[in-house]
Amino acid sequence: MSARASLPHSRLRSSGGTPIVGTVTRGTTNPNRLRRMDRWIAATHGAELRRADDPVAVDLGYGASPWTAVELLGRLRAVAPRARVVGVEIEPARVAAAKPYEREGLDFRHGGFEIPVAARPLLIRAANVLRQYDENEVAAVWERLCARLAPGGLLVEGTCDEIGRRHVWVALGAEGPRTVTFATRLGSLEHPSDLAERLPKALIHRNVPGEPVHAFLRDFDRAWAAAAPYASYGARQRWIRAVRDLTADWPVTDSVTRWRQGEVTVTWGALAPAA
């Protein structure tokens, strides 16, 4: 994974004088917004967190309120009781506002993509952070963040709507992007392609004819339409049937256990932007 652009630098510096990498985001957040991403992380990365001597997770760019970091700690500790969460924010006032919520296993620090934590984290979650950046800046950010991971660590970067009904994220390891996960509240879904508006920055401008992600969403809509008879058993059964049909042509990596949650995960290589 090679950087295609230099990383954006703010004019801010940490309390120790270190330059902070990144720019201030809008900071919009809501309680329970990232539940789908958290649920997936706990299920797929929980074993790695349990095995670690010091399982540190970073909630990067948690926003104007600390809710997502507070919730991440609770969800990770349900599967890895020794997990610690560090909330990292580039806006100093947001860090100051979050400080009263610190407790054992949870603290907040001023910083950006440089990830100002002593221990290399086993998880970095960056939700709704890269939306304001240019597409050609994404690879550099991914590379910088992945380089900070501990061995076996995971970067999860993606986008969701304001109340967390629709979410798409990329999972990356030290070697680069691995998978793309689509997750939705099934009762709110008319077509799987409704998720296109929540594609992460690396893909959102690629939802056009000739690009793999466009072909995937087109095929998903067709499978969803073909599965319409299953709607009488509920949206979950229709989703499961549609995903089963997708597996004939697309490298779906998960199983019905995750599909029941309104999720489907596909290898990054199948959806990566065309050269």
Is 2's pLDDT higher than 50?
no
Query: Which structural domain range is residue 118 located in?
Result: 9-184+264-269
46 vs 26: CA distance, rounded Å = 30
Is 171's pLDDT higher than 60?
yes
93 is a domain residue: yes
252 is a domain residue: no
13 is a domain residue: yes
24 vs 32: CA distance, rounded Å = 22
Q: Mean pLDDT across the chain, nearest whole number? A: 93
Region 226-250: what's the mean pLDDT?
Answer: 98
Q: Which residues pair with 13 in a beta bridge?
A: 19
Strand ranges of the sheet holding 263-267, from the earlier edge strand across to the other edge: 106-110, 84-89, 56-60, 123-127, 154-160, 166-173, 176-184, 263-267
Q: Are 86 and 76 in contact (CB under 8 A)?
A: no
For the chain, what is the domain count?
A: 1
pLDDT given for residue 13 in this prediction = 55
67 is a domain residue: yes
220 is a domain residue: no
Give the CATH number for residue 64: 3.40.50.150
Region 96-101: what's the mean pLDDT?
Answer: 97
pLDDT given for residue 137 in this prediction = 96
Q: Give the tens place of pLDDT for each residue, 139-149.
A: 999 999 999 99
Q: Where does the pLDDT of residue 16 fall: very low under 50, low under 70, confident under 90, or very high at 90 and above?
A: low
Specify the higher pLDDT residue, 4 or 250: 250
22 vs 36: CA distance, rounded Å = 26
pLDDT given for residue 190 in this prediction = 96
Q: In this structure, which amino acid lies at residue 111?
A: G
248 is a domain residue: no
Is 18's pLDDT higher than 90?
no
144 is a domain residue: yes
pLDDT given for residue 31 in this prediction = 87
Provide, rounded to the nearest whole percent, the portion of the chain with pLDDT above 90: 88
230 is a domain residue: no
Is 25's pLDDT higher than 90?
no
Q: Give the tens place of pLDDT for each residue, 106-126.
A: 999 999 999 999 999 999 999
Q: Where does the pLDDT of residue 23 fall: very low under 50, low under 70, confident under 90, or very high at 90 and above?
A: confident
Is 3's pLDDT higher than 50?
no
Q: Give the tens place of pLDDT for each residue, 202-232.
A: 999 999 999 999 999 999 999 999 999 999 9
